[in-house]
Amino acid sequence: MLHQLPEQGDIGMWLQRTELEYLFESRTAQTMLAENYDRLPY
């Protein structure tokens, strides 16, 4: 989600941008990312 890969193409870049926009707008998505990244319960 945070790294751009040259082989992902236009659709891959669009999907990545969409996922990041959702993350920025959704408190639930932010919590999920933090829990999965840190592996700590909140």
More confident residue, 39 or 29: 29
pLDDT band at 42 (very low <50, low <70, confident <90, very high): low
- C-alpha–C-alpha distance, residues 14 and 23, integer Å: 14
Could you tell me the residue ranges of all domains in the chain?
A: 12-37
Q: How many CA atoms lie less than 13 Å away from 30 in the CB half-sphere?
A: 5
pLDDT, one tens digit per residue, over 3-22 is 777 788 888 889 889 999 99
